[in-house]
Structure 1
Amino acid sequence: MKLKHMYKQLSLLAFIAIGSIGSLMAQSRIYIHSHNDYCQSVPFYQAYSQKVYSIEADIYTNADETGLLVAHDRDELPTALTIDELYISPIVTQFKRNQGKAWADNEHTLQLMIDMKTAEHPTLDILVKKLQQYPEVFDPSVNPKAVKVLITGNTPKPEDFKNYPEFIFFDGRPQYDYTPEQLERIGLVSDSFDKYSKWNGKGAMVAPEKEKLNQVIQKVHNWGKPVRFWGTPDGVTAWNTFHEMGIDIINTDKPELCSDFFKDFERKNMQLAEKTALQASEEIAKTNRLDKATRSFGGFDQSASQLSQPVETYQPTFQSDNANRTPKNIILMIGDGMGLAQICAAQTVNQTLTMLQLKHIGLQRTHAKDQYTTDSAGAGSAIATGEPTCNRHISTNEDGSINPSLTEILAPRQYACGIVTLGNIADATPAAFYGHTTERDQTDEITRWLLKGNLTLLNGSGMSALTDRKDGTNLKDELSKQYLISSSIEEIKTHGEKEICLDEQMGKATTEESLPLLAEATQKAIQKLTNASSKGFFLMVEGAKVDYAGHANYLPGSVLETLSFDQAVAEALRFADQNGETLVIVTADHETGGLTLVDGNLEKRKVTARYMTDDHTPIMLPVFAYGPGSSKFCGTYPNTEIFHKILEALKIQQRP
């Protein structure tokens, strides 16, 4: 086989095609190898169901040297099954079922690694005869998608490779010097991890040991071959470390867990990089976990979920921070679904966040009235009304009785009130600040509360919430009697006239180009509300789609949405410093996805993370505060206390 043709074959070796710095040839890949696969509860099928690239079987000749048994040690041979039973027959069956492919739904090949525990003769001779019965399954010259057979253990001497059919490949060793002809028969190069490192997979590998491994990796890659190490630590930290180092084939005894970790790996990584250096999928990351108002969300375009340069942050002056005076204005900022892990991931990629500059920090508990884990309706309503609220309820009690929200309390006191959301205006969090219902999906009922006229500005997406209604009414026409109705944040009037701006761009996933959108909307809202009332204003700003990214288990989307929200925070703080009478509170309603950070690289601005659920979690959330009265928000308290602390800061003692 020509070396050029060998390279072509190697380019097909894949289960999971993931970028790996310094990895094999132009298109870097990583593959999963089910080590000692026969020790699994269900040999072959357990790993095969995960579509791993490589499966390993140890073989011995039987007593009369006519057959091959699969076992780890000789004392297992009396009860051992044959290679025909455990591997050859199942593989042949699957190829027949999938019309000449390892798997019906992809083009990747499967490697069968045979570790010969008995001598080359007759072990390999017997194996070759068995495989030659199925050339359409094991011979790539017959079927380009055939299983790749690779021999390790008691392999022939390199000079004897040529004595075996070309469909038989061999496991090389980095310390050998192969001729070009011999190298053509090397399918991969393996070595013992213990020769280079004593790392047990906890924490990080020490630098000298890592350098030894890197030298081997580079040598093997210079040969144009993939590299594998056996006897490696076997866990998430190790798998991720080996991937980052450019080890092409991950050795594991846990094929299901390892496959799960690398599944949709693009969705678990985010890095600041030039767009030309990123190889993003063109797939759309979506979720079916959204409710009625946001169910039409188109998802996150993975090819657009990139960041090529850092987002500028704002450094507060702290001149009015915790000043001993009553604030005139309140800006409440809610990153929907944004927990500490989401904040940390965005900070790793961007190196700094505006919200992390703030000095007064508390923790809020998020439980709903009826459930340990809240949804946006229960949590948003608790923040908006100061009353524990059941899930799916919008600022109401179980019996439907109404709990007034901050806008309903402050508007009669001549405060200008505004709501800005980077999502649908009828979704739970913004709805909790102007509407009421016992079911969050009753968007017709929610939006009719806008007729009460408590808002000076409502800005988000969702024109259909006003025009496409089950009750047959056109709420847009009714609202136009007291509100200006606009369709772009650029059209928002900065004078005090009441306005509803429904810009459908605000309902789309954030990209690098649209990162400033929420900040621009926040700036317009502040200008409008400032001009609307000499008394002061209340503004709630929501970064809605951090939540969507959590439901979709999509880290790049989470980072971009958090950075978009942070830019809006910067706009609020910039105004607070200029104004000197504004209290800014930055928090979330709940965390979404159970995000945890696996590892990262501060220098490369890269983070690797994984989600443990596609739903909300009940963990506590940070509360950042800035401006007059900001120290009131330190400590630990239920989410309902945010409402009461705002009224306390304003010296409003009770509801009307």
Structure 2
Amino acid sequence: MRLLRPVLASVFGSVLALGAAGVAPSVASAAPPARSTVQPLERAHAHNDYEHDRPLLDALDHGFTSVEADVWLVDGELYIGHDGPDLTRTLRSTYLDPLADRVRDNGGRVYPRWRDSLRLLVDVKSEGTAAWPVIEAQLGEYPFLVSSYREGRVHERAVTAVISGNRDLPAMSAASTRFSFYDGRLGDLTGPLDDSLMPLVSDNWTRHFTWQGVGEMPATERAKLRSIVSTAHARGYDVRFWATPDLAGPAREAVWRELVAADVDVLNTDDLPGLQSFLLAQDPEEAAA
């Protein structure tokens, strides 16, 4: 993950001290690999993660290092949901508290011996100007857990929150201190935004590419994809596409292979075991881990 590259060296000692009051981790299901043995997968992003049987936990049991939570602001609280808010689930109860418990249990890390930062993609479905201050206030209650930007510097922690969907760029750009970062679009690649504000650039695959995995990828589209990634990486941005094919089969695997070959940083899926199996078998970075 190119998001906030500095190593998490000095963070974990302070987290250990805070961890004395941690809550025991949730019990994992029998099917996925054990927490101590699962391999973190740098490109694996759980799209609409909250729709799984065990939000967050299923993704972590499959080694995912990026999860997506759609949120709605209702009466001052952030509720989870895609087409509307589920008033039984909040951002805090579904993601922030379980992540805080896990990081305390693991001595400051989401995965043992994994020193990178898990991306929590907060996709704002309600009005962004009202939602962002509430998101910031809640993230600010977990300073040992979430990365921050203060006085011109990024301070990386075990979890990095990135705001997608309805984003308030003016407010985020103006803030001297914040606990979240901006998810840009391909139109931002050559703009003025520094990676300390915009570490991730995401866009809809179908708006930029016609190829859906059937037959060879057109040479012009392959060149376009690699140019996008090269430009983004030169600016310090990660790259993610949504709306890529996600039905199991040759077409999906063909698209995933091209994304890995182009060094796209984030692969979207709703199929946690499918992407886990693919990356362990097909991603050279994971095969060498």
Residues 320-359 of structure 1 mapped to structure 2, 5 A cutoff: none
In the alignment, is the contact (CA less than 8 A) between 1:172 and 1:190 conserved in 2?
yes
Q: TM-score, normalised by structure 2?
A: 0.75
| TM superposition shift of 1:238 | 2.0
**Residues 128 and 266 (structure 1 numbering): CA distance in 2 closer, same or farther, change over 3 Å?**
closer
1:172 aligns with 2:167: no
Give, in whole Å, the separation in 2 of the partners of 1:41 and 1:8.
28
Counterpart position of 1:93:
101
Q: Which amino acid aligns with 1:184?
A: S
Counterpart position of 2:25:
none
Counterpart position of 2:114:
106
| TM superposition shift of 1:58 | 0.6
Q: Which amino acid aligns with 1:178?
A: G
1:125 aligns with 2:133: yes
Give, in whole Å, the separation in 2 of the partners of 1:179 and 1:159.
16
| TM superposition shift of 1:156 | 1.5
> Any idea what the Cα deviations from partners look like across 1:8-53, whole Å, max 9, x if unmatched?
823669944xxxxxxxxxxxxx511111111222211111112212
> Any idea what the Cα deviations from partners look like across 1:363-395, whole Å, max 9, x if unmatched?
xxxxxxxxxxxxxxxxxxxxxxxxxxxxxxxxx
In the alignment, is the contact (CA less than 8 A) between 1:71 and 1:80 conserved in 2?
no
**Residues 45 and 245 (structure 1 numbering): CA distance in 2 closer, same or farther, change over 3 Å?**
same
In the alignment, is the contact (CA less than 8 A) between 2:239 and 2:264 conserved in 1?
yes
CA-atom RMSD in angstroms: 3.0
Residues 439-588 of structure 1 mapped to structure 2, 5 A cutoff: none
In the alignment, is the contact (CA less than 8 A) between 2:3 and 2:237 conserved in 1?
no
Counterpart position of 1:491:
none
**Structure showing greater relative contact order (alpha-carbon pairs closer than 8 Å, 6 or more residues apart):** 2
Counterpart position of 2:276:
259
> Any idea what the Cα deviations from partners look like across 1:105-133, whole Å, max 9, x if unmatched?
42232110000111223211111111111
Give, in whole Å, the separation in 2 of the partners of 1:92 and 1:72.
24
| TM superposition shift of 1:148 | 0.7
Q: How many residues align?
A: 249
Q: TM-score, normalised by structure 1?
A: 0.35
| TM superposition shift of 1:149 | 0.8
**Residues 265 and 178 (structure 1 numbering): CA distance in 2 closer, same or farther, change over 3 Å?**
same
Give the match's secondary structure for 2:199. Answer: strand
| TM superposition shift of 1:146 | 2.3
Q: Which amino acid aligns with 2:98?
A: P
1:9 aligns with 2:17: no
Give, in whole Å, the separation in 1 of the partners of 2:285 and 2:142.
40
| TM superposition shift of 1:104 | 2.1
In the alignment, is the contact (CA less than 8 A) between 2:4 and 2:199 conserved in 1?
no
Give, in whole Å, the separation in 2 of the partners of 1:15 and 1:216.
26
In the alignment, is the contact (CA less than 8 A) between 2:72 and 2:80 conserved in 1?
yes
Counterpart position of 1:69:
79
Give, in whole Å, the separation in 1 of the partners of 2:263 and 2:160.
22
**Residues 163 and 145 (structure 1 numbering): CA distance in 2 closer, same or farther, change over 3 Å?**
closer
Give, in whole Å, the separation in 1 of the partners of 2:285 and 2:234.
29
Give the match's secondary structure for 1:135. Answer: coil
Q: Which amino acid aligns with 1:188?
A: L
Give, in whole Å, the separation in 2 of the partners of 1:35 and 1:168.
19
Counterpart position of 2:66:
54
In the alignment, is the contact (CA less than 8 A) between 1:46 and 1:256 conserved in 2?
no
Counterpart position of 2:264:
247
In the alignment, is the contact (CA less than 8 A) between 1:226 and 1:248 conserved in 2?
yes
In the alignment, is the contact (CA less than 8 A) between 2:47 and 2:67 conserved in 1?
yes
Decide which of 202, 205, 208 is 1:193's aligned counterpart.
205
Counterpart position of 1:137:
145
Give the match's secondary structure for 1:33. Answer: strand
1:223 aligns with 2:235: yes
Give, in whole Å, the separation in 1 of the partners of 2:3 and 2:49.
27
Give, in whole Å, the separation in 1 of the partners of 2:234 and 2:210.
26
Give the match's secondary structure for 2:200. Answer: strand
1:238 aligns with 2:255: yes
Give, in whole Å, the separation in 2 of the partners of 1:255 and 1:78.
23
In the alignment, is the contact (CA less than 8 A) between 1:196 and 1:213 conserved in 2?
no
Q: Percent identity?
A: 27
Counterpart position of 1:214:
226
| TM superposition shift of 1:189 | 0.6
| TM superposition shift of 1:80 | 4.9
Give, in whole Å, the separation in 2 of the partners of 1:164 and 1:230.
30
Give, in whole Å, the separation in 2 of the partners of 1:266 and 1:191.
22
**Residues 239 and 105 (structure 1 numbering): CA distance in 2 closer, same or farther, change over 3 Å?**
same
Which structure has the greater CA radius of gyration?
1
Give, in whole Å, the separation in 2 of the partners of 1:266 and 1:116.
31
Gaps of 5+ in 2: 9-38, 247-251
Decide which of 88, 92, 116 is 2:124's aligned counterpart.
116
| TM superposition shift of 1:220 | 1.4
> Any idea what the Cα deviations from partners look like across 1:577-617, whole Å, max 9, x if unmatched?
xxxxxxxxxxxxxxxxxxxxxxxxxxxxxxxxxxxxxxxxx
In the alignment, is the contact (CA less than 8 A) between 2:79 and 2:86 conserved in 1?
no
Q: Which amino acid aligns with 1:153?
A: G
Give, in whole Å, the separation in 1 of the partners of 2:170 and 2:230.
22
Q: Which amino acid aligns with 2:4?
A: Q
Give, in whole Å, the separation in 1 of the partners of 2:57 and 2:50.
10
In the alignment, is the contact (CA less than 8 A) between 2:172 and 2:178 conserved in 1?
no
Decide which of 144, 158, 164 is 1:152's aligned counterpart.
164
Q: Which amino acid aligns with 1:95?
A: V
Give, in whole Å, the separation in 2 of the partners of 1:188 and 1:42.
26
Gaps of 5+ in 1: 1-6, 17-29, 270-279, 284-656
Give, in whole Å, the separation in 2 of the partners of 1:156 and 1:221.
24
Give, in whole Å, the separation in 2 of the partners of 1:33 and 1:114.
13
Give, in whole Å, the separation in 2 of the partners of 1:58 and 1:245.
28
Give, in whole Å, the separation in 2 of the partners of 1:60 and 1:107.
31
| TM superposition shift of 1:224 | 2.1
Give, in whole Å, the separation in 1 of the partners of 2:215 and 2:184.
30
Give, in whole Å, the separation in 1 of the partners of 2:176 and 2:57.
29
